[in-house]
Amino acid sequence: MKIVLKGGRILDPSQDLDVIGSVVLENDQIAEIGTKVDERGADELYDCTGCWITPGLVDIHVHLREPGYSHKETIITGTQAAAAGGFTTIACMPNTDPPLDNPALIDFLLDQSSSPEAGGVFVAPIGALTQEMKGERPSDFAALKRAGVVAASDDAFPLQNSAVMQRCMELCRQVDLPVATHCEDQSLTMGASMNEGAMSAVLGLRGMPRTAEEIHVARNCLLSFETGCPLHILHVSTWGSVAIIEQAKDLGAPVTAEVCPHHFSLIDDQMPPFDTHWKMNPPLRTKLDVETLISALAAGIIDCIATDHAPHARHEKDVPFEQAPFGIVGLETAVGVTLTHLTHKGLLSPLETVRKLSTRPAEIYRLDAGTLKPGRTPVAQVAVIDPDLEWTFDVNKTFSKGKNSPYHGCVFKGKTMLTFSGGEVYRDQHWDKRPQVQNA
């Protein structure tokens, strides 16, 4: 089977490549890439004029909800949502029921995600940092690593006890496993449901102070520096966290960080009062935070973009604001939000945009992804993105089971059109409406 993606803008940050050219996939592998490829004998030809051809996108922060919460999302609906967003590799969080704290559960997850319905999307599991995610006894990291986990995390249940965190980092360092942390001192956020500021005061809601995040960012960076354990800071949301991460990196601590699309595109003041689709943790902050996060991303202080795709069922979000669970879906809006808010505003170049959404996150968890170099990924993983397509996001037409998005009805410029992974092809409905499409 020979597939030719013809005449697009090839953006491959792993080779610093930004050229108009074609990509040939043969037997599920990248066979050729460049300006002069052999198109003869193609079984399928996709005219990619005006589109970007990129390595499949990589999202290292996704909640798939299985086992235990399949009413929110399943491995299949989550991977389908990923493919629709252009993602061919995702890392999934362990806050399931039971939590992903042992090899048998990792086997289950890897088995489910390799089913044909999963759209060829690779799922890299993140193991629980502590047994049952109770924050007490470290997991068996060697066993988890052998089973295939790419990192260990306490996401959603941030470790409050610094001694336990230090021990976990020492143990993870021994088996060379990155630790990913949701940074929140919960003694400062108890009962709070949004950012602490003017808006929380107006609404009469208890607010989360920025310091609750920053204290943990500082603590975890110091422990990473001390233990030498690779630390990945999840969903950075404040300018203070950025300053601390920059210092930690300057000191030589093995620290990386991510930002979510909602944290660089929305602020707490914009929230329709008590709309639970705007409730997530960390919460939306202020304009100054957004501006700082964007410049930190462009400067490489924040390494990559990750969605924190956190689906919840309608009935769970359809309750008073304070009682609603934290989290919003993100896989199917990440490209639209990023291109609209960063790339088209000139804040990130197209090549850097792809780096932050693919090559760099793959490096952080050492995933075989994020590149168009032939033979560097187990199968060809490619996304085709129309950067100029304007479209309106309708959450009711998404693949994810979760309909909890603050972007419903928003107009974005930039959309994933095609996603190729492991012989599977996702094809957006807008693809067939393209005037220049030739066939396939």
User: Judged by CB under 6 A, does residue 263 bind ligand DOR?
Assistant: no
155 binds Zn ion (CB under 5 A): yes
Q: Does 321 bind ligand DOR (CB under 6 A)?
A: no
Residue 156 interacts with ligand DOR (CB under 6 A)? Answer: yes
Q: Which tokens hold the place of 77?
A: 């609906």
The whole-angstrom separation of Cα 414 and Cα 437 is 18
The nearest distance, CB 155 to ligand DOR, in angstroms, is 6
78-86, 221-229, 322-330, 349-357 -> range binding ligand DOR (CB under 6 A): 322-330
Q: Which of residues 341-380 bind Zn ion (CB under 5 A)?
A: none
Does 386 participate in binding Zn ion (rule CB under 5 A)?
Answer: no
Instruction: Candidates 6, 63, 341, 401: give the one binding ligand DOR (CB under 6 A).
Output: 63
Among 327, 330, 406, 414, binds ligand DOR (CB under 6 A): 327
234: number of Cβ within 10 Å: 24
Is residue 304 at the binding interface for ligand DOR, with CB under 6 A as the rule?
Answer: no
Asked if 306 touches ligand DOR (CB under 6 A), the answer is no
195 scored as a contact of ligand DOR (CB under 6 A): no
Least distance to Zn ion, CB of residue 335, Å: 19
Q: Judging by DSSP bridges, how do beta strands 381-392 and 231-233 pair with one another?
A: unpaired
Contact of 56 with 358, CB cutoff 8 Å: yes
308 sits near Zn ion (criterion: CB under 5 A): yes
Q: Which stretch binds ligand DOR (CB under 6 A): 17-25, 105-113, 323-331, 383-391?
A: 323-331
Determine the interface stretch with Zn ion among 112-120, 260-268, 305-313, 379-387 (rule: CB under 5 A): 305-313
Between CA 298 and CA 199 the distance in angstroms is 29
Q: Which is nearer to ligand DOR, 65 or 341 (CB)?
A: 65
Of 171-190, binders to ligand DOR (CB under 6 A) are: 182
Is there a contact between 285 and 267 (Cβ–Cβ < 8 Å)?
Answer: yes
Please state, in angstroms and rounded to a whole number, the distance separating the CA atoms of residues 430 and 417.
Answer: 7
Q: Residue 95 touches which of Zn ion, ligand DOR, none (CB < 5 to 8 A by kind)?
A: ligand DOR
Candidates 406, 184, 198; CA nearest to 285 is: 198
Our CB check for ligand DOR shows the closer of 33 and 271 to be 271
The CA-atom distances, in angstroms, between 86 and each of 57, 258, 323, 360, 385 are: 6, 18, 33, 16, 8
By CB under 5 A, tell whether 184 contacts Zn ion: no
- Catalytic position from the list 47, 59, 154, 308: 308
Stretch that binds Zn ion, among 119-127, 149-157, 258-266, 376-384 (CB under 5 A): 149-157
For 33, list phi and psi in degrees, rounded to 5: -150, 135
Residue 260 · residue 306 · CB < 8 Å: yes
Segment contacting ligand DOR by CB under 6 A, of 222-230, 237-245, 319-327, 387-395 = 319-327
Q: Which two tokens stand for residue 260?
A: 């979510």
Residue 280: contacted member of ligand DOR, Zn ion, none (CB under 5 to 8 Å, by partner type):
ligand DOR
The yes or no reply on residue 326 touching ligand DOR (CB under 6 A) is: yes
Give the chain's end-to-end CA distance (angstroms, integer): 13
Determine whether 308 is an active site residue: yes
Neighbouring CB atoms inside 10 A of 277's CB total 20
Q: Is 196 in the site for Zn ion (CB under 5 A)?
A: no
186-201: b or e for each residue (b if 16 or more CB lie within 10 Å)? eebbeebbbbbbebbe
DSSP state for residue 348 in the 8-state scheme: S
Those residues whose C-beta lies under 8 Å from the C-beta of residue 430, and which sit 6 or more positions away, are 386, 389, 391, 415, 417
d(CA 425, CA 440): 11
**326 or 391: CB nearest ligand DOR:** 326
Cα 108 off chain centre by? 22
Strand partners, 426: 419
Structure tokens at 169: 């980092």
Find the shortest distance in angstroms from Cβ 279 to ligand DOR.
8
Q: Which residues have a catalytic role annotated?
A: 308
Interface residues with ligand DOR (CB under 6 A)?
63, 95, 155-156, 182, 280-281, 308, 310, 325-327
Interface residues with Zn ion (CB under 5 A)?
155, 308
